[in-house]
Amino acid sequence: MIYQSTSVEQTEAIAAELAARLVGGEVIAMQGDLGAGKTQFVRGLVRGLGGEPRSVSSPTFVLLNVYDGGRLTVFHLDAYRIGGADDFEAIGFAELLEQGGVVAVEWPERVEALLPARLLRVRIVATDESVRQIEIEVPDQDLR
C-alpha cells in the first residue's frame, strides 16, 4: 500500500488506520531519513490504538519508550544511536517480542539480525519539503 501525506495529521491518520487492523504481536520496521516522520507515524499508531498520542516522543537517546493505556501496548525503539545488536538485546528486545503488543523499530536495518522474519515494513520518504510517500508492506497474514 502506498500513501501520500502532505501533513503531520495525514501521516498520523494513515498510521491510525493501520493500527485499527493490528491484533498484537506485530513488529513494524520503520525506515526513513532523519525527520521523515517515523515518530509521527508511531504517534498515529498510539492514537489509533486508543492510547495518549501526546505521550509519544522519539526514543533516540533512551532506546525504548513504552506507550500503554490503549487496546495494545506499543513498544517504540530507536536503533539510530546503538552500537550494535547487543544494545537491543541488553534492553530485553527478545522479551518485548513476546508481550503481545506492537513493537515499532526505527532504523531497523541496524538490528536486522534480531528482527523476526514476518515484519510489517513502513518506508517514509520525503518527496518534497511537506510531502511524504508512505509505503506499508504487510506480510501474508490476516490484518483485519
**What would the pLDDT profile of 82-105 be if each residue is shown by its tens digit?**
777 777 788 788 898 889 999 999
Quote the cell numbers at residue 75: 513498544
60 located within any domain: yes
CATH classification at residue 57 = 3.40.50.300
The gap from C-alpha 78 to its chain's centroid, in whole angstroms, comes to 9
144 located within any domain: no
142 located within any domain: no
For 74, how many CA atoms within 13 A lie in the half-sphere containing its CB?
Answer: 34
What pTM was estimated for this model as a whole?
Answer: 0.89
Give the integer Cα–Cα distance in Å for 74 and 50.
Answer: 11
The gap from C-alpha 57 to its chain's centroid, in whole angstroms, comes to 12
Q: Are 72 and 24 in contact (CB under 8 A)?
A: yes
57 located within any domain: yes
Domain of 83, in residue numbers: 2-137
pLDDT 10s digits, 26-48: 999 999 998 899 999 999 999 99
